[in-house]
């Protein structure tokens, strides 16, 4: 995650003291017959990793409305934050790896533990691992079926790092699904219109004009 977070239309520097006192909020979400209990730990350290963003809920709803079969799929989620998207996939039978910066790992692990079904995970328990884009993606395998990300495209300095990471993870023909608030001021449309198409075939799968959220799929282009 990065330096700034958005809440109800304005930008919050994570080091401005607003989260000097750590507090948590627990919420319940329901998708595809699954009830997810997600804890959001608001603090200066977590910043934008703390909340469940609308783009994540849109991606969960997209899976539901399109009846995507995730059972048995090998999935990695980037910038997972609270982990709601990847945890839903794991509850549906996917083999999931949740990743984010090291500071977000404890929140991710806590939410994974809180959402283990009473009968156990249908496939395997989600793995939670730190991943810094553009630095250590090469320690991760390339044999994924899906690469997921929700509201991770909002800081232009990270776009080349994210692109490099996606290229590595998708070398064995993984499909990427990215759900994003389309922030003009952060160059989000440019990432999907210019940066990502440099290496990927990109398709707009869903658009919500009321919340300005798009969902894209992408597949790696052949060798250039």
Full-prediction pTM beyond 0.75?
yes
Going residue by residue through the chain (224 aa), what tens digit of pLDDT does each one get? 333 233 333 233 333 344 445 556 789 999 999 999 998 876 545 455 557 899 999 999 999 999 999 999 999 999 999 999 999 999 999 999 999 999 999 999 999 999 999 999 999 999 999 999 999 999 999 999 999 999 999 999 999 999 999 999 999 999 999 999 999 999 999 999 999 999 999 999 999 999 999 999 999 998 54
What are the phi and psi torsion angles at 36 (to 5°)?
A: -110, 130
Q: What CATH homologous superfamily does 23-220 map to?
A: Vaccinia Virus protein VP39 (3.40.50.150)
Q: Which pLDDT value is given to residue 19? A: 41
Q: What is the pLDDT of residue 31?
A: 96
Taking alpha carbons only, the member of 74, 72, 40 closest to residue 57 is 40
Tell me the torsion sign for CA atoms 68, 73, 78, 81. positive
CA proximity to 86, closest of 2, 164, 150, 176:
150
* Domain segments of the chain as ranges: 23-220
Nearest to 164 by CA among 200, 215, 216, 203: 200
Q: pLDDT (tens digit, 9 = 90+) per residue, 87-140? A: 999 999 999 999 999 999 999 999 999 999 999 999 999 999 999 999 999 999
Report residue 79 as tokens: 């910038």
Whether 7 contacts 51, CB under 8 Å: yes
């Amino acid at each position: 995650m990065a330096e700034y977070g958005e809440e109800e239309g304005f930008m919050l520097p994570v080091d401005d003291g607003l989260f000097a006192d750590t507090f948590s909020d627990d919420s319940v979400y329901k998708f595809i017959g699954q009830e997810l209990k997600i804890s959001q730990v608001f603090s200066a350290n977590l910043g934008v990793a703390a909340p469940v963003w609308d783009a994540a809920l849109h991606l969960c709803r997209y899976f539901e409305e399109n009846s995507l079969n995730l059972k048995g799929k090998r999935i990695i989620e980037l910038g997972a934050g609270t982990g709601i998207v990847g945890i839903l996939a794991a509850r549906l039978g996917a083999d999931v790896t949740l990743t984010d910066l090291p500071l977000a790992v404890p929140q991710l692990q806590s939410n994974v533990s809180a959402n283990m079904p009473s009968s156990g995970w249908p496939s395997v328990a989600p793995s939670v691992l730190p991943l810094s884009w553009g630095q250590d993606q090469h320690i991760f395998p390339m044999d994924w079926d899906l690469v997921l990300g929700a509201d991770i495209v909002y800081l232009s300095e990270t776009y080349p790092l994210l692109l490099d990471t996606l290229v590595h993870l998708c070398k064995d023909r993984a499909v990427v699904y990215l759900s994003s608030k389309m922030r003009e001021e952060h160059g989000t449309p440019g990432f999907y219109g210019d940066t990502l198409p440099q290496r990927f075939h990109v398709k707009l799968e869903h658009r919500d004009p009321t919340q300005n959220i798009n969902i894209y799929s992408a597949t790696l282009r052949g060798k250039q």
